[in-house]
Amino acid sequence: MLAESHISSSDRSAGLQDAPFKAAFQSLPMPVLIVDSHRKHAPVAFANRALLDLAGYSQEEMSGRGWHVLHMPGTGLDALNAIDAAMRAGEAFETGFTGRRKDGSAFTCILALSPVHDQAGQLRWVTLVLTGIGSVQDPARDGGETSLHLEEQVERRTQALQAAFDRRTALLHEVEHRIKNTLQMTASLVLLKARRLRDPEARKVLQETAERVSALSAAHRLLSAAGDGGRFNLKEFTSELAGELITALPKGQVDLDLAIQPLGVPASKATALALLLNELVGNAVKHAFPNGRRGRLTIEIGRTENGLKIAVDDDGVGLDHAPPAEGSFGKTLITMLVQQLKGQLTWRDQKPGTRAEIVMPVDAQEMKFE
């Protein structure tokens, strides 16, 4: 640092009080700061209007304060040290700089340092000229605004996806509803035709066909009422189906036991399962208890290690091991449906009674509790 004995502080200050001098610096469009590098912390001797407007200080607030008041703490320490070193050496220097306004906000600029010497070559002042002023957003604020923007985008996207899902669900329900109505109409027409036939065998075939169509209609009705876009509720369907089939028998002839877990399976399996359950339960109701024979019918549905197990168990007359009679379609249809579902079917003669058991693979993610 230059010795104070060479040039007094009053001598240095005298030049800054000249009106032409001050007017010249005030007219500059870029921020200019003049500091006294001979004194500790290089206090500010003069700041032009552009600098005061940039920093938000008054001339009185700036004068006499160390110029570091304009530095943003925690940024550009190497540049700050290089500027101070150039000041002490009385050398020109230029570097990038991050400044701080009075309100704490940051700005960036190019800071050019120019030493001012007198005629004797002695360092009088150092001017700091700021150019290329740019704004710096507060990181916390910027992060908050970015987060808010992303949240708004996610919310809009979520609403759009939900609306699309709702439209798709409504469309699926409408389709299921129309299919159900069509199947009900078909079943009614088939039954109407059956009543007009004189041939008992033909009438029986049409009645069984109508029952199968009604089972499909019930499956689609449950799918259209499903709240999750289409899962087949096995417990609800089987309970309804078995109850309707039992009513065809005299009251109290057959006791019904249901051991059914509240499972839902994909809608893609609904048709095959509906037909399969209709055949299994219908076969037991129609053939296990002839001539008013009393008994018990048990239906079990639940999860197993291999997927899904369906069992229809009766204590009726027992299993007929003979091949199906010509024109008998029930057991053939059961076999076909089990193959379609990739399951395994086992018939067991329990003496008395018959047990039909099916184990079919269903992925754990496809099957859930309702």
Query: pLDDT, tens digit, for every residue of 52-85?
Result: 999 999 999 999 999 999 999 988 888 899 999 9
Check which CATH number belongs to the domain holding 328 and give it. 3.30.565.10
Question: Is position 4 within any domain?
Answer: no
Query: pLDDT, tens digit, for every residue of 266-289?
Result: 778 888 888 888 888 888 888 888
Q: What does the pLDDT read at residue 368? A: 60
DSSP three-state, residue 47: strand
Question: Is position 350 within any domain?
Answer: yes
- Residue whose C-alpha is closest to residue 258's, from 233, 231, 235, 289: 235
206-215, 231-240, 347-356: range with lowest mean pLDDT: 206-215
Phi, psi of 320 (to 5 degrees): -90, 115
Q: Residue 360 pLDDT more than 70?
A: yes
Residue 18 and residue 105 share a domain: yes
Residue 160 tokens, joined? 């759009």
- Residue 262, preceding peptide bond in cis (omega within 30° of 0): no
Question: Is position 3 within any domain?
Answer: no
| Domain that includes residue 302, residue range | 230-370
Query: pLDDT, tens digit, for every residue of 189-199?
Result: 877 877 888 88
Q: End of a domain among 204, 229, 254? A: 229
DSSP three-state, residue 307: strand
Residue 27 and residue 14 share a domain: yes
DSSP three-state, residue 198: coil
Residue 141 tokens, joined? 């604020």
Residue 364 and residue 311 share a domain: yes
Q: End of a domain among 229, 250, 275? A: 229
Q: What does the pLDDT read at residue 321? A: 42
Residue 97 and residue 179 share a domain: no
Only one residue has tokens 């259209």, namely 224
Q: Stretch 132-146: mean pLDDT, rounded?
A: 61
Residue 256 and residue 211 share a domain: no
37-46, 130-139, 157-166, 264-273: range with lowest mean pLDDT: 130-139
Residue 214 and residue 121 share a domain: no
Residue 320 tokens, joined? 């007929």
- Residue whose C-alpha is closest to residue 188's, from 223, 217, 221: 217
Residue 100 and residue 184 share a domain: no
Q: What does the pLDDT read at residue 322? A: 38
Question: Is position 272 within any domain?
Answer: yes
Q: What does the pLDDT read at residue 110? A: 93
Query: In whole angstroms, what is the distance from residue 243 CA to residue 246 CA?
Result: 5
Quote the number of domains for the chain: 3
Q: End of a domain among 181, 208, 229? A: 229
Question: Is position 2 within any domain?
Answer: no
Residue 238 and residue 217 share a domain: no
